[in-house]
């Protein structure tokens, strides 16, 4: 029985991480992109986003609640980032930087909605951190763009003992 389990484990371990990394990119991109869509009314910041950032959203720091500094600017930046960064993730273009941006956004969201850590923020942070560390995999434009330059993220991952 142990031999069968060992063989199955070896077989599962030999699969390329490119597919799970692609799925991870999609899974992280979807909630941020959907949130970004709600912040825009065409090319104009939606009234709902203006209201939330100026009235409802508070940063919970040091036991207190504080209004967002420059709330309209923050709403614009969040709306742009929530459209741009997920699109880059799906394409696998600048994967590590896009994931880092979403990790920072997740931290700000955690400060804004502290009760969401277990259901949303922790999984988002874990996915973003994995992508920052591992990159987008072979199914990413990053891999294709860097292939001719000898600096692919895959070679760095391979050096860490992860198969590609």
| Average pLDDT over every residue of 87-92 | 98
pLDDT exceeds 70 at position 159: no
Of residues 32 and 147, the one with the higher pLDDT is 32
Residues facing residue 90 across a β-bridge: none
Q: Say what the pTM is.
A: 0.84
- The CA distances from residue 69 to 32, 35, 55, in Å, are 22, 21, 12
Judge whether 30 and 85 are in contact, CB under 8 Å.
Answer: no
Nearest to 71 by CA among 108, 42, 100, 122: 108
pLDDT exceeds 70 at position 127: yes
Instruction: Name the pLDDT band for 47 (thresholds 50, 70, 90).
Output: very high
Please give the DSSP secondary-structure letter assigned to residue 132.
H
């Amino acid at each position: 029985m142990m031999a069968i389990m060992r063989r199955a484990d070896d077989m599962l371990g030999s699969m390329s991480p490119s597919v799970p990394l692609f799925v991870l990119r999609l899974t992280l991109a979807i909630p941020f992109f959907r949130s970004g869509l709600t912040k825009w009314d065409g090319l104009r910041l939606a009234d709902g986003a203006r209201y939330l950032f100026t009235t409802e959203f508070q940063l919970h720091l040091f036991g207190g609640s504080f209004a967002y500094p420059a709330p309209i600017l923050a709403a614009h930046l969040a709306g742009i980032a929530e459209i741009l960064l997920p699109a880059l993730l799906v394409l696998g273009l600048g994967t590590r930087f896009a994931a880092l941006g979403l990790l920072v956004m997740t931290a700000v969201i955690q400060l804004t909605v502290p009760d969401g850590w277990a259901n949303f923020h922790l999984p988002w942070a874990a996915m973003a951190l994995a992508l920052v560390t591992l990159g987008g995999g072979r199914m990413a434009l990053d891999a294709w763009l860097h292939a001719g330059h000898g600096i692919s993220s895959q070679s760095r991952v391979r050096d860490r003992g992860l198969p590609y």
